[in-house]
Chains A and B, each alone.
Chain A
Amino acid sequence: MAASNKITRKLAMTAVAWLVALVIAFPALWLILTSFKSETEAISRVPHLFFTPTLTNYAAVQQQASYLHFAANSVIVSVGSTLFALLFAIPSAYTMAFAPTKSTRSTLLWMLSTKMMPPVGALVPVYLIFRDLSLLDTRTGLLLVDALANLPILIWMLYTFFKEVPREVLEAGRMDGAGPLRELWNLLLPLSLPGIVSTSLLAIILAWNEAFWSLTLTAAKAAPLTAFIASFSSPEGLFYAKLSAASTMAIAPILILGWLSQKQLVRGLTFGAVK
Chain B
Amino acid sequence: MSRQRASRWLNTPAIVALFLWSIIPLVMTVWFTFRRYNLMEPDRVGFDGLANYRYLLSDPTLFQAVFNTVVLVGAVLAITIGLGTLLAILFDQEFFGRGIARVLVLAPFFIMPTVSALLWKNMMMHPDNGFLAFVFRSIGLKPIDWFAVAPLTSIIIIVSWQWLPFAFLTLLTAVQSLDSERKEAARMDGAGPIAMFRYIIWPHLGRAIAATTMIESIFLLGIFAEIYVTTSGGPGFASTNLSFLIYRYALMEYDIGGASVAALVAVVLANLLALFLMRSFARNLDT
Contacts and interface: CB of A to CB of B under 8 A. Distances in A.
Interface string B266-287: 1100110110001001101101
Interface residues of B, number: 104
Residue from the set B10, B110, B212, B267 with the largest chain A CB neighbour count within 10 Å: B110
Contacts, number: 313
Contacts of B264: 121
Contact of B17 (A88, A94, A184): A88
A274 B173 contact: yes
A255 B108 CA distance: 9
B34 interface: no
Q: Is the interface of A mostly helix, strand, loop or mixed?
A: helix
A123 B166 contact: no
B68 interface: no
A28 interface: yes
A270 B115 contact: no
A258 B162 CA distance: 14
Interface residues of A, number: 101
B101 A21 contact: yes
A230 B225 contact: yes
Interface in A240-267: 240, 243-244, 247, 250-251, 254-255, 257-259, 262, 265-266
Residue from the set A21, A98, A250, A251 with the largest chain B CB neighbour count within 10 Å: A21
Nearest to A97: B287
Given A109-B285, A116-B218, A247 B3 contact: no
B131 A47 contact: yes
A34 B263 CA distance: 40
Interface stretch (B18-26, B182-190, B192-200): B18-26
A31 B123 contact: yes
A121 B267 CA distance: 6
Given A14-B95, A111-B18, A274 B107 contact: no
A17 B101 contact: yes
Contacts of B97: 14, 18
B229 A274 contact: no
A102 to B, nearest CB: 11
Q: Is the interface of B mostly helix, strand, loop or mixed?
A: helix
Given A101-B4, A232-B118, A270-B211, A255 B110 contact: yes
Contacts of B278: 109, 112-113, 116
Contacts of B221: 118
Contact of A94 (B7, B106, B117, B222): B7
Contact of B112 (A43, A104, A229): A229
Given A212-B243, A273-B211, A10 B96 contact: yes
Nearest to B174: A274
B267 to A, nearest CB: 4
A275 B169 CA distance: 11
Contacts of B102: 21, 262
B169 to A, nearest CB: 5
Given A155-B14, A273-B281, A99 B4 contact: yes
B91 interface: yes
Contacts of B13: 87-88, 91-92
A113 B274 contact: yes
A46 interface: yes
A247 B91 contact: no
Interface in A52-99: 87-89, 91-92, 94-96, 98-99
Contacts of A152: 18
B106 A262 contact: yes
Contacts of A119: 222, 224, 243
A220 interface: no
A25 to B, nearest CB: 4
A192 interface: no
Given A17-B93, A112-B281, A148-B17, A226 B225 contact: yes
A127 B224 contact: no
B161 interface: yes
Given A10-B95, A114-B22, A250-B115, A270 B215 contact: yes
Contacts of B225: 211-212, 215, 226, 230
B247 A216 contact: yes
Contact of A226 (B114, B121, B177, B247): B114
Given A113-B274, A216-B251, A233 B121 contact: yes
Interface of B: 3-4, 6-8, 10-11, 13-15, 17-18, 21-22, 24-26, 28-29, 32, 87, 90-91, 93-98, 101-124, 128-129, 131, 133-134, 161, 164-166, 169-170, 173-174, 177, 207-208, 210-212, 215, 218, 221-222, 224-225, 228-230, 242-243, 246-247, 250-251, 256, 259-260, 263-264, 266-267, 270-271, 273-274, 278, 281-282, 284-285, 287
Top 7 nearest A-B pairs (CB, nearest first) are: A211-B225, A92-B14, A91-B10, A122-B25, A258-B110, A180-B7, A125-B28
10 contacts: A14-B96, A27-B161, A109-B282, A113-B274, A116-B274, A119-B222, A247-B115, A247-B119, A250-B115, A257-B110
Given A24-B105, A227-B114, A274-B211, 8 more contacts: A14-B95, A30-B123, A43-B129, A105-B287, A118-B270, A120-B224, A124-B32, A240-B129
